[in-house]
Amino acid sequence: MELVTKRVPAFIYPYSIVILDGDVRMNKNDLRKINNADNILILPGNKSPERLLASYLYNLSDVDPLWSKIADGYTKQFCFREYSMEQINAGGELGRQNAKKWFNSQLEYWGRNGCKVLNPFLSSISEEAQEFRTNFDNMIKQYIHD
C-alpha cells in the first residue's frame, strides 16, 4: 500500500494490479490513502484471508462432512490443535503471525492450492467472491484496452 501511495512506478496504473487483504477495510486511514488508486482491488471480507478461513472452519459443526473430505482423520480438533481461534484472532503482530503460522501448518492437508477448503469457503461467500471476480475482470479489460 505504501508503494502505491508513494507512487512507485511499478505499483501504479498501468504497470500493476495490487490486491489487498480485506482487513484493509477496517482502517479508514488506509482506505483514504488508496482511495484514488486505479489499480487496487480488495479481497472479500473484513479480515485477512487466513483469519477468514479460520473463522469459516471454526464455525463448522464438528460433524460437518467437509472435515472428512479434507483428509482422512482430519477434524476440527486437529485443525485447531496448535493454534486456538483466540490466538489466531489476537491483535497486533503476534495475532497476525499466529494466523499465518496456523494457515501454513494446515495447508498441506487441504489439497493442491488449498482447494479442499478454499472452494467450499468461496461457495459460502459466493456473492462477494463473484463481485471480486467481476471487479478483477473489469480491471483486466481496462489494462487490455489502454
Dist CA 113 CA 146 (whole Å): 32
Angstrom distance (rounded) from CA 72 to CA 138: 40
The pLDDT of residue 103: 98
Q: Identify the pLDDT of residue 21.
A: 96
Extended beta strands in 6-131, E state: 18-20, 40-42
- Give CA–CA dist 138/89, Å, rounded: 33
pTM of model > 0.85: yes
Instruction: State the pLDDT at residue 53.
Output: 98
Return the pLDDT at 143.
Answer: 87
What is the structure's pLDDT at 100?
A: 98
Residues of the chain with pLDDT under 50: none
Q: Which are the contacts of 44, defined by CB distance < 8 A and separation ≥ 6?
A: 22, 52, 125, 128, 129, 131, 132
What are 97-139's pLDDT values in tens digits?
Answer: 999 999 999 999 999 999 999 999 999 999 999 999 999 999 9
